[in-house]
Amino acid sequence: MVRRLLLGCSAVGSALVEGVADGSADLLAVTDDAGWASTLRDRNVTTVEADPTDPSAYPERAAVVLVADDEPTRNVAAASAARERYPDAMIVAHVGTAPTAAQVDALEAIADRVVDPVEAVTTRVREAVGLDAPDPEDDRGPDRPPEATETTASTERPPRLIRTIRGLDGPLLVVAHDNPDPDAIASAVGLARIAEAVGVPAEPCYGGEIAHQENRAMVNLLDLSLSTVDGVDLETYGGIALVDHSRAGINDSLPEGTPVDVVIDHHPPRGPVEGAFVDVRPDAGATSTLIAEYLSRLGIEPDRPLATALLYGIRIDTRDFTREVSIPDFEAAASLTPHVDESTLDRVESPSVSPETLRVLATAIDRRDVRGSTVASCVGEITDRDALAQAADRLLDLEGIAVTFVYGYMDGVIYGSARTRGTDLDVGELLRDALAQAGSAGGHANMAGAQVPLGILEAVAEEESLADVVEEFVAERFFEALSAPPTPPAGITPSALDAEYPD
């Protein structure tokens, strides 16, 4: 099966063919230059001697087309013919020798990537078209659809993404979920970088706040630029992309039902997902993995801040490659590592801990309510709700504990954060069952959050501790919804945790 098509040949095309080595079985070249045709055949490349601008010489199907003649006019014609013949293919076009501005503009309007004739570009083009990646054996015959294998799908997703972005009639707004974590932040910045690389302005944004001190350190130390959804006029954008979540108005600050063009996520969807380009892969450990894959396939080299952010996003969401990790996560991490600023990454991973975080953690340990393999803890009034998530993470290390839920209140609202590990329990569903009727709740299978207005509880608590009233109200509903505590994994003992965080 032909998946890579070379139209015309030149020094650039020849260098690319040299890199294919024995993996050239799926490569077909079309050139009317007898010298280059002979050279290509000597390298075991199937070659058709014909006009590379004539589509009658083309194969039935091609996933990647490289236009590589020395003559700019022929490159424009070949690219145009290839785009008409293969509307879904990735087209990488070499500008040729001494192109005019009009010729370059014409190629940029047709191709997914346009490259200049310099030696350093060759490596980037090879990465863009995936020439170094062998294909699995295709045993379903010539009519096998392009989506038949994950390798093929991975090759075709980037060009489809680029076509979607380039088809917008204005800039792209990239929206992370509210109170974004490192994976959401890095993915938003990464997708904006991809859009800008193909000439479409893009702006990453988020709702809520970046509260966790590690998340703030990541944004500040890497100098990542993101806007807030509140200050954005949606009418000024030609399209909207969602990253690390899949439905507008659900866990983000967009109006529910807002039309979406691009969705990139690794969480299982809780409802129908709509968009011109949708890539939702629950098998991946992080959305940053998908963004890193696009960058690699498209030959876009991430700068140090972006590479560092993406690697950190993968490490956080996979808990340093120990939770819901997949082979693509390791591959993405390997591709990013050469570009990472290790000293800055160390600083991001070791930020100073606020006194409020330590206080909430100590209170969560002291007031823990353990029932079977589940622990819940009311920490009373708080000033930083992100401290709840950190306490829930830490309590999950207790021996015999599979589920944690830490909650407190501030500004008239009860906030809660839940975690689970090593079980089939979905804590997002658990919190929805327990508290959605009283407020809002949800999240993912292994981490979730809830918000419940204090309302009448403040009046009821006039003659007793508000913390006790909140604990009674929330704990009753939480443990009621948890009908059967899951089997606990191993962990540290409660006495060891008490010793580490004494009163």
CATH number of the domain residue 244 falls in? 3.90.1640.10
Quickly list H helices, 111-149: 121-129
DSSP at 112? S
Question: Which residues face 392 on adjacent strands?
Answer: none
Question: Which residues face 420 on adjacent strands?
Answer: 403
Strand (E) or helix (H) holding 204: strand 202-206
Q: List the one residue out of 96, 93, 30, 25 whose CA is nearest residue 58.
A: 30
Note the pLDDT of residue 170: 93
Of all residues in the chain, the percent with pLDDT exceeding 70 is: 83
* Displacement of CA 71 from its chain's centroid (Å): 39
Q: List the one residue out of 73, 4, 72 whose CA is nearest residue 40.
A: 4
- Count of C-beta atoms within a 10 Å radius of residue 54: 14
Question: Residue 481 pLDDT > 80, yes or no?
Answer: yes
What is the sign of the dihedral through the CA atoms of 284, 282, 153 and 298? negative
Cα 44 to Cα 29, 41, 63, 66, 350, distances in angstroms? 11, 5, 20, 18, 53
Residue range 144-155, pLDDT digits in tens: 333 434 555 666
Mean pLDDT within 311-316: 94
Structural domains in the chain (count): 3
DSSP at 382? -
Same domain, 371 and 341: no
Instruction: State how far the Cα of 106 lies from the Cα of 85, in Å rounded to an integer.
Output: 17
| Domain's final residue, options 314, 349, 384 | 349
Note the pLDDT of residue 61: 87
Say if CB 242 and CB 263 are below 8 A apart.
Answer: yes
Say if CB 5 and CB 65 are below 8 A apart.
Answer: yes
Same domain, 181 and 327: yes
SS3 401: coil
The rounded mean pLDDT for the chain is 83
Same domain, 493 and 345: no
Same domain, 258 and 204: yes
Say if CB 300 and CB 115 are below 8 A apart.
Answer: no
| Domain's final residue, options 327, 349, 371 | 349
Amino acid symbol at 376: A
As to burial, measured by CB atoms within 10 angstroms (0-12 exposed, 13-18 middle, 19+ buried), residue 49 is middle
Question: Residue 81 pLDDT > 90, yes or no?
Answer: yes
As a dihedral over the C-alpha atoms of residue 110, residue 115, residue 116, residue 121, rounded to 10 degrees, the angle is -170
Residue 295's pLDDT band, with cuts at 50, 70 and 90, is very high
pTM confidence score: 0.56
Same domain, 12 and 77: yes
Say if CB 180 and CB 215 are below 8 A apart.
Answer: yes
Same domain, 66 and 168: no
Same domain, 341 and 377: no
Q: Which two tokens stand for residue 366?
A: 């002291």
Residues 6+ away with beta carbon under 8 Å from 83: 89, 91, 110, 111
Provide the residue range defining the domain that includes 86. 4-139
Question: Which residues face 66 on adjacent strands?
Answer: 6, 92
- Rg of the chain over all Cα atoms, to the nearest angstrom: 27
Note the pLDDT of residue 149: 45
Same domain, 319 and 273: yes
Residue 499's pLDDT band, with cuts at 50, 70 and 90, is low
Note the pLDDT of residue 437: 87
Considering only 74-88, 296-310, 471-485, 486-500, which range has the smallest mean pLDDT?
486-500
Same domain, 345 and 364: no
- Count of C-beta atoms within a 10 Å radius of residue 73: 14
Say if CB 113 and CB 298 are below 8 A apart.
Answer: yes
φ and ψ of 248, to 5 deg: -65, 135
Q: Which two tokens stand for residue 229?
A: 């959804």
Residue 299's pLDDT band, with cuts at 50, 70 and 90, is confident
- Count of C-beta atoms within a 10 Å radius of residue 123: 15
What is the sign of the dihedral through the CA atoms of 75, 76, 77 and 78? positive
φ and ψ of 118, to 5 deg: -125, 150
Same domain, 232 and 338: yes
Question: Residue 6 pLDDT > 50, yes or no?
Answer: yes
Residue range 100-131, pLDDT digits in tens: 888 888 998 999 888 765 434 444 444 454 44
Question: Residue 141 pLDDT > 50, yes or no?
Answer: no
Instruction: State how far the Cα of 65 lies from the Cα of 365, in Å rounded to an integer.
Output: 60
Residues 6+ away with beta carbon under 8 Å from 330: 321
* Displacement of CA 176 from its chain's centroid (Å): 10
For the residues of 227-243, what is the DSSP string, one character each?
EEGGG--GGG-SEEEEE
Question: Residue 44 sits in a domain of what CATH number?
Answer: 3.40.50.720
Question: Residue 356 pLDDT > 70, yes or no?
Answer: yes
Same domain, 235 and 166: yes
Instruction: Flag whether 170 is in a domain.
Output: yes
Question: Residue 95 pLDDT > 90, yes or no?
Answer: no
Same domain, 207 and 344: yes
Residue 395's pLDDT band, with cuts at 50, 70 and 90, is very high
Query: Long-range contacts of range 136-139, CB-CB < 8 Å, 24 or more positions apart?
Result: 138/1
Note the pLDDT of residue 172: 97
As to burial, measured by CB atoms within 10 angstroms (0-12 exposed, 13-18 middle, 19+ buried), residue 104 is middle
SS3 83: helix
